[in-house]
Structure 1
């Protein structure tokens, strides 16, 4: 960039897309945006999209955001979308959020959408823990927030445990929450086990929950095995459940084998089940 500015400066147009690329640069974002501000500052417009891009920079988000706040001051608007972008940054979210709270706390609004983003960010609950520590009164643990935590494929167990530990009275274990856990392809077994251990009486194993487990693309077998082991009498193997397993491209074979092994008499192979399997399965070519 320095070479282009020095040798072909007149041809270098500093558009919003260029600025976004600079602040989103994982390795040298701070250095590139500093160069642009130093040499072409009057052309660098700090739009909401630019600030959002800085907030979600997975490597140098904190450093880039700190530079923008320091050099551009009032041009940097901390909107809900910016705060959500920081909350969703699965690698540097805690650092970016802490910076925003420290430098521009009065502009950081902790809305339901922000809390949902923090609950589902996959950062071992660090962003959620920060929000609970710094802005507890503004963190509302709604059904949508609990669903987001239950469905977090990376850190669902950690986030859910944090919510249960610190805000248990606000955590409602609805069917939608249990479905989200059952369908969580990354940490579904762990989240479901936590819910069964901590809030067993509220966990209802409905047909929709069992379908979600049967259709879980990565950990369907593990979640289904857990349900069969812990709540077998509530697990109804309906045609819809069998179809969900038959239509599961990734782990469906394992789920179906488990169902046939443990609940063979309940597994009805209807035409719809066979059609679903025929339209989903892959056969290696010779």
Structure 2
């Protein structure tokens, strides 16, 4: 007759199992794929608030930014990537580095705040970037734009933060239809994607930005509702993003929820499950 395991031994085995599971999950998250929720509307309509995706970390290799941030204020936990992999910071290089391509949708670490951002890469090292009357100019050449109709969404609070969309058709009451002009933008390398326009504002007309070597220029697809490289870091924007701050490429939406919680199954967007990101 087999002897029963001692309670202390069983508890110890459980603890070891949990620790091993956390270590394996940490290695997987650091080396391969990082989960990412879309918290804002800066990348509409490519990415909607509540989209859930995995970031491909193997696409560009690894740097200090590949290590995860663990921030849980409620429990007093604030572990930054630099606390774990800070020894890799400062040289703007990567291990097994791969070059990003213009048009990639990239998750990167904000150069000053350390927060994770997701935007589209439009400016490569050495490029001269400018926006004139809302049209992106790359090396003094305007990108190709084609009319793609109108983007519509319900004017209501969205996601856990209950953010309200901005509308081109003026202030819209709760439950009304919020509209934005939709355009297809074609970058010099042939990458096509949708951008949205709300109206004329300061970010539609900028000076010329020359992207330094080892850095990149990012913009949101929802052009009039995005904090990105058009605003320098000194003014609270993103500015130029160093190569080592890239975390990975977003390739596919795995799941999407339009509600305040992913548990609200009646708000799931079934048409966005496993959708490729263009």
Normalized against structure 1, the TM-score is what? 0.27
Structure ranking higher on relative contact order (CA contacts 8 Å, 6+ apart): 2
Which structure: larger Rg? Answer: 1
Instruction: Return the structure number with greater strand share.
Output: 2
